[in-house]
Every structure is written in structure tokens, then in C-alpha cells.
Chains A and B, each alone.
Chain A
Amino acid sequence: MTPGWPLWEVFVRSRNGLAHKHVGSVHAVDATMALTNARDVYTRRSEGTSIWVVPSAAITASDPADKDALFDPAGDKIYRHPTFYDIPADVKNI
């Protein structure tokens, strides 16, 4: 392989009604080849009805070092969950 074939992230929709899910990556010179390679590598057993390929370089990811700053504030807001509220057992359909 010549150095520098771009990396593509592969997302597969297993059936209509479900979201595309990340399954892995492939190297390819262009998007068409990436789709073909993804089809051969990740859907040999009818795993999908649709494939997305996205250049890995196009993905912006959150920094693991920012994990606390990003996600901790949600940790003490348990009132955002329905189970936070006590409703008498006699009250139905709520």
C-alpha cells in the first residue's frame, strides 16, 4: 500500500427504523472505493441495508481530558429523570 491512503469510518444501518451504527474503518483512495471495501469487510452476512462512509479526518471528537467538564454537570441533575418524582401508588397512568 502506498503511504497515505485516507482512513474512512464505516457506519451501517442494520435495518430500516434503526440508526446507522459505527462498525469500524477502512482505507480507500476515494469514497466510492471506501463504500465497496466497507461492503466487503463489514456486510458479508446481511448485516446492513445501508452504509455510510465518512473521512476519519472529518470527525471532531471531544477530548477525554474534558470528560469531567462536559459530563459531570449532568450527574447532579437527577431531577431531569422521571424517577426523581414520588407519585402515590394510587395515582394511575402517570
Chain B
Amino acid sequence: MYTQGLDEAPGPDVDESFDPASLLPDDEASAELRFQARIDAEDRIEPTDWMPAEYRRTLIRQIAQHAHSEVIGMQPEGNWITRAPSLRRKAVLIAKVQDEAGHGLYLYGAAETLGVSREELVDQLVSGEVKYSSIFNYPTLTWADMGAVGWLVDGAAIMNQIPLCRCSYGPYARAMVRVCKEESFHQRQGYELMLTLSRGTPQQQAMAQDALNRWWWPAIMMFGPSDADSVHSAKTMRWKIKRFSNDELRQKFVDVTVPQAEYLGLTVPDPDLRFNDETGHYDIGPIDWDEFFAVVRGDGPCNRQRLATRRAAHENGAWVRAAAEAHSRKQQERQQSSEPAATEPAATEPAATGQVA
């Protein structure tokens, strides 16, 4: 799961009219030109290659936000694991939540290749310094939300992530290939769940409709502000970190998702939604950007809860990390002390103390 909307938030001290190359010594300016030429030629940038400082900063911010979103994204669905209605659904949900953890780890790994440490990244998340996707600040109120989240939220994430598989930065692009393969399972299990509910009892149908009503607009907002208000778009497009604008991706999502809703027999909660014969696309009603920015600022329904839960999990895991370190240390000491006396029988005491890790 992921949204790119956050990478559009204006940076603290970025003056867009300022061209950093103009101040650089000649050799660095020409390095920038060579760098851009490689990007234009669809060459990929690898960790040890020269890159402009702002390219590095932009990528660290975007990949970190993406990773944090995967990690926080475990919470809305983890909420329903114990209450899944069947063993099959429970196994699927556990696998999906585990995937989100895995996606977070692929992405932290990619960010670390740019010179930021895992500890810094984790600290940025638990201190609230770096944001995650605003979609995860909405609550999952009913079981049907597990269907709507998989279908809509993961569906929107796929729209965003497929172009990222061709991102100019190699490690990020490679992480995205793995993520996209797994994300498809997430979306399909969600749609299947919605299909089951929408073919079920009137109460189940009503649950499915209610979930669509609550998740449609937040999913639409996942693509971020309109192109007109997008601060970083031009630069990230030129660097081929991003290849389509927010509005283009949003339109693609609407075009593929509306027929899927129709197949379910559900109504998209947008009275202005209609197919435009001239453009061949669906037109949608106005998006409530006030709500979007309020949630990004921290005033969504679950912002505080999500961060508090993440922080508690990190703090409550401290003893596990300490135990793992202690176990490793003991193992090393035992190995060292047994080496000179190789003829003596091996230590009989089982390494039970390490099993807590």
C-alpha cells in the first residue's frame, strides 16, 4: 500500500525558481549535466554513482514515506485478524499484513543505500517527523472494510507503484518490482471479499456499500493534490523518479475502478460521476481537499492512535532486541572459549536463553 500524495508537500526551504546548478563550480555543474544525460538515456542510477544532493534528498524522503506507509498500513488490517469470519479469510489477512511488513523492509533497505540509517528512519517515524500516507488515518469500522481497503487502497497503490518500477534509481525500482507482484494478491483478495458480500444477504450488501461509501474519496485522494498545486512534480518528472502526474494516475484509477464497482452492483458515492463520451474517461465531482490537508496535518480520525500504536510496538520490542544482542554475544563468547580446547566435549548446556529472540 502506498500513496505518493505526501511527496507533494512543500519542503521547508525549497525555492523552486532557484537553479542550484547556477551556483556550483563548473565541474559540479557539468556533473549535473552528465547525470541528467544518463537519466534521459534511461540509464539507471546505482548507490555508488554520483548524484545531485537534491536528488538524493528527494529520494530519501519519498522512499522513507513509502516505507513508513507500509509499516503503518499494517494497523488498519491487523485490527481485524482476530475477528476474521473464517480460517481462510484469517490466513489471507495474516499473509497480507505480513507482506506489508515485508514491503516496509524492502523500502527501508532501498532508502539505506542512499546513506540514511535504519535507526534514523525508525526514529523519524515514531517521532512523527516524517509522514506516512494519510489513507491509514481512517478507521476500519467493519469487516467489509477489509474488502474495500484491498480493492481500493491497494488498487490505487498499484496505479502509483507500477510506474515506479521504472524509476531512475535502481534499488527503489527493484524494490517496487517485488512489491507490485505481491500487491496484486492484495487487491484481488479484497475484490473477492467485496464480491462475496455483494452476493450475500441484504445486510452484507449494505455493509459492502457502506465500506465503498467511506473509502472511495480517501482512495481518490491517495494520488495527492491536483497537478496545478503540485510543488515537486516538474523536478521529479525530469529526474524520472515519477513518470505520470497525480491527475493522470487518478484518472486511470477511476476509469478502471468504476466498472468494477458496477459489477459488484454497488454505487460509487459521487453524484457527479459520469462517463464522458468525448474524452473517453469518467468525470468525477469536486474533491474535498480541505479534508485531505486536515488529515495530512494530523487531524484525521486515527492519526494519534496510529503513531501511539507504532511507538508502543517499538518500545515494547526493546527487550526482544536486547535479548537478540545478548544471545549473539554469548554465542560468540562460547565459540571463542571452546576454540582453544577443541578436544574437550562440546558444551552440554542448550542455548535455551536465546530462544526468546
Contacts and interface: CB of A to CB of B under 8 A. Distances in A.
Contact of B325 (A2, A24, A25): A2
B65 to A, nearest CB: 19
B46 A64 contact: yes
B338 interface: no
Interface of B: 46, 48-50, 95, 98-99, 102, 105-106, 109, 112, 117-119, 122, 174-175, 182, 321-322, 324-325, 327-328, 331-332, 357
B122 A44 contact: no
Contact of B98 (A3, A29, A44): A44
A87 B122 CA distance: 62
A81 B49 CA distance: 29
Interface string A33-76: 10000001100110000000000000001011000000000000
A89 interface: no
Contacts of B102: 40-41, 44
Given A24-B109, A33-B328, A3 B48 contact: no
| Shortest beta-carbon contacts, A-B, top 7 | A29-B328, A30-B328, A64-B48, A29-B324, A25-B109, A3-B119, A41-B105
Given A1-B119, A29-B328, A41-B105, 12 more contacts: A2-B321, A2-B325, A24-B175, A25-B109, A26-B105, A33-B324, A40-B102, A41-B106, A44-B99, A45-B182, A64-B46, A64-B49
Contacts of B49: 64
Contacts of A1: 118-119, 122, 321
8 contacts: A2-B321, A3-B117, A7-B112, A24-B106, A25-B112, A29-B327, A30-B332, A33-B324
Nearest to A10: B109
B322 A27 contact: no
A27 B106 contact: no
Nearest to A67: B49
State the majority secondary structure of interface residues on B.
Answer: helix
Contacts, number: 46
Nearest to A24: B109
A22 B95 CA distance: 24
Contact of B322 (A2, A24, A30, A33): A2
Contacts of A25: 109, 112
A56 to B, nearest CB: 10
Contacts of B182: 45
B48 A61 contact: yes
A52 to B, nearest CB: 16
B123 to A, nearest CB: 10
A27 B325 CA distance: 12
A71 to B, nearest CB: 14
A44 B122 CA distance: 24
Nearest to B323: A29
Contacts of B98: 40, 44
A15 B49 CA distance: 32
A27 B118 contact: yes
A1 B315 CA distance: 10
Contacts of B46: 64
Contacts of B122: 1
B184 to A, nearest CB: 12
Contacts of A24: 106, 109, 174-175
B76 to A, nearest CB: 21
Contacts of A40: 98, 102
A64 B117 CA distance: 22
B335 to A, nearest CB: 11
- The residue among A7, A30, A44 with the most chain B CB atoms within 10 A of its own CB is A30
A9 to B, nearest CB: 10
A63 B105 CA distance: 27
Contacts of B106: 24, 41
B331 A30 contact: yes
A63 B325 contact: no
A44 B102 CA distance: 9
A40 B103 CA distance: 12
A63 B324 CA distance: 35
